[in-house]
Amino acid sequence: MNMRWQDWAHMLLGLWLIFSPWAMNYTINEVATANARGLGIGIIIFNLISVRRAIDQGQEIVNVLIGIWLILSPYALNFQSETVIAANTIGVGVLIIILAIWEIFSSAKAGK
């Protein structure tokens, strides 16, 4: 098992996405809620599976792609006018990308 702190941070961000519709009171926006909950669950499951793998190659690219989707999703799913919801979604996407890139460079630096 090869779990780094960035993996834990990804899973915490996934948990935040799951609960943010209730915490930020935007459950009435079904599209944004489904997007947040679905991606949150996906992030957690993907990161749990990836840390159980013996070979640690390419998993962070998936996290980068998830982060890119989170950044684009308010526009693609048409909830960009809900500024607080959109800012939350974009912010989590940016954090996921930063953590993934950090993990890529940390692994490369460590020679893994």
Q: Give tens-digit pLDDT for 18-56.
A: 999 999 999 999 999 999 999 999 999 988 887 776 555
pLDDT tens profile 92-106: 999 999 999 998 888
pLDDT at 5: 83
For 9-13, 24-28, 51-55, 71-75, which range has the lowest pLDDT when averaged over its residues? Answer: 51-55
* Interior angle at CA 110, CA 104 and CA 112, nearest 5: 70
pLDDT at 3: 67
